[in-house]
């Protein structure tokens, strides 16, 4: 299947640069899979599409301040994005600029963290060892920055050098590029479909006897890695770490057994559940890594409804949504969303597929 089948035109002004003042104020395009019909609603209308006995599955991963801006011994600035912990203070990273960074070079991040290049960087990726005092997450809270995607434009400096405006923007992103139910630190990108939920919505759904199951998938930068091959079947997904507890699996399986529907909040939940589902849709508790790549032709076993944001052209996320609802129907809905000036991507509006 050719990658250009997942192209669409998006005016740059529709890429949301800031979240709305209220999380739940987003618009919501509803797409009916059986007919392709669409409705234009608000996220606060979500309860109208759910019923007693359904199970809403959310991803409780927490975004860490994984972007680090530091200085080489020569004074030049270096950016590191922490990707995956490898144990014993070692991390896989994405570095920029990477061309002149050699093995053994040390980078200072405001005196709080020192990174030493352990392996030769290949296309900007490599391994570093980190030195810090106390807990790493405490140090990252002081000197790290929120790893908002590159299509959200930010002028960022190390916290010790940032202007008041930059400090205010970082504080806002740290609060809003995070779900209200984030519990497990480890992601370098937010599960953005969950950004629309506030406590009132969650409490209201629970009061209507909609079960809420919490799973974890730590989103990494591979989620946004472009598909650079012409035939999408040749694309390799990067692995992401997941955990589904026995309690969550039991709630999901009980819902299905009793005739309820499994409502996935975001593509990360879909990939996790589909990784762990058997042929009858039953979920096994467990932890590990998944590199499941879902594109049209995939047969879903675990998910009945999907709440998701609007995704980049040619992205694996758009391919997953197209597999769930049909490529032509999804692209027609996207065209409609563009015409109606929906807000796109991480801080944008959402789409409910039923």
Using pLDDT thresholds of 50, 70 and 90, give the confidence band for residue 198: very high
Using pLDDT thresholds of 50, 70 and 90, give the confidence band for residue 304: very high
What pLDDT is attached to residue 120?
A: 84
What pLDDT is attached to residue 75?
A: 86
Q: Where in the chain is the domain with CATH 3.40.1780.10?
A: 3-60+180-353
Cα 83 from Cα 91, distance rounded (Å): 7
Cα 253 from Cα 57, distance rounded (Å): 12
What pLDDT is attached to residue 86?
A: 94
Cα 352 from Cα 308, distance rounded (Å): 6
Domain 67-165 belongs in CATH node 3.30.750.24 = no
Judge whether residue 122 has pLDDT over 90: no
What pLDDT is attached to residue 284?
A: 95
For 100, list phi and psi in degrees, rounded to 5: -105, 5
What pLDDT is attached to residue 156?
A: 87
β-strands 113-117, 77-87: how paired?
unpaired
Contact call for residues 213 and 57 (beta carbons, < 8 A): yes
In SS3 terms, the chain reads as: CEHHHHCCCCCHHHECCCCCCCHHHCEEEEECCCCCCEEEEEHHHHHHHCCCCCEEEEECEEECCCEEEEECCCCCEEEEEEEEEEECCEEEEEEECCCCCCCCCEEEECCCEEEEECCCCECCEEEEEEEECCCHHHHHHHHCECCCCCCCCCCCCCCCCCCHHHHHHHHHHHHHCCCCCCCEEEECCCCHHHHHCCHHHHHHHHHCCCEEEEEEECCCHHHHCCCCCCEHHHCCCCCEEEEECHHHHHHHHHHHHCCCCEEEECHHHHHHHHHHECCCCCECCEEEEECCCCCCCCCCCCCCEEEEECCCCCCHHHHHHHHHHCHHHHHHHHHHHHHCCCCECCCCCEEEEC
Name the CATH superfamily housing domain 3-60+180-353. QueA-like (3.40.1780.10)
For 61-83, what is each residue's pLDDT tens digit? 999 999 999 999 888 899 999 99
Q: Where in the chain is the domain with CATH 2.40.10.240?
A: 67-165
Judge whether residue 225 has pLDDT over 80: no
What pLDDT is attached to residue 99?
A: 80
Q: What are the distances in angstroms from CA 249 to CA 57, 136, 148, 276, 281? A: 10, 31, 31, 10, 11
């Amino acid at each position: 299947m050719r990658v250009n089948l997942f192209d669409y035109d998006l005016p740059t002004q529709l890429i949301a640069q800031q979240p709305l003042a209220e999380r739940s104020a987003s618009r919501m395009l509803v797409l009916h899979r059986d007919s392709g019909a669409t409705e234009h609603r608000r996220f606060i209308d979500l309860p109208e599409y759910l019923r007693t006995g359904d199970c809403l599955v959310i991803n409780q991963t927490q975004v860490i301040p994984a972007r680090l801006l530091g200085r080489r011994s020569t004074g030049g600035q270096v950016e590191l994005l922490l990707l995956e912990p490898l144990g014993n203070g070692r991390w896989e990273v994405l570095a920029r600029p990477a061309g002149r960074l050699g093995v053994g070079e040390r980078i200072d991040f405001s005196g709080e963290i020192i990174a030493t290049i352990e392996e030769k960087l290949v296309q900007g990726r490599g391994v570093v060892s980190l030195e810090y005092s106390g807990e790493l997450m405490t140090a990252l809270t002081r000197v790290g920055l929120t790893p908002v995607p590159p299509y959200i434009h930010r002028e960022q400096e190390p916290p010790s050098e940032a202007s008041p405006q930059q400090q205010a923007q970082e504080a806002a992103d740290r609060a809003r590029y995070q779900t209200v139910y984030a519990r497990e630190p480890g992601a370098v990108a937010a599960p953005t479909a969950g950004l629309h939920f506030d406590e009132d919505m969650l409490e209201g759904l629970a009061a209507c006897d909609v079960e809420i199951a919490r799973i974890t998938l730590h989103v990494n930068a591979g989620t946004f890695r472009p598909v650079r091959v012409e035939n999408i079947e040749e694309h390799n997904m990067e692995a992401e770490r997941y955990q589904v507890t026995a309690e969550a699996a039991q709630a999901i399986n009980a819902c299905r057994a009793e005739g309820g529907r499994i409502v996935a909040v975001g593509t990360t939940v879909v990939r996790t559940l589909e990784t762990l589902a058997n042929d009858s849709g039953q979920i096994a508790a467990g932890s590990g890594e998944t590199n499941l790549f879902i594109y049209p032709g995939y047969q879903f076993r675990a998910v009945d409804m999907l709440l998701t944001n609007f995704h980049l052209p040619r992205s694996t996320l758009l391919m997953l949504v197209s597999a769930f609802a049909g490529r032509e129907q999804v692209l027609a809905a996207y065209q409609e969303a563009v015409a109606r000036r929906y807000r796109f991507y991480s801080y944008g509006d959402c789409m409910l597929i039923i």
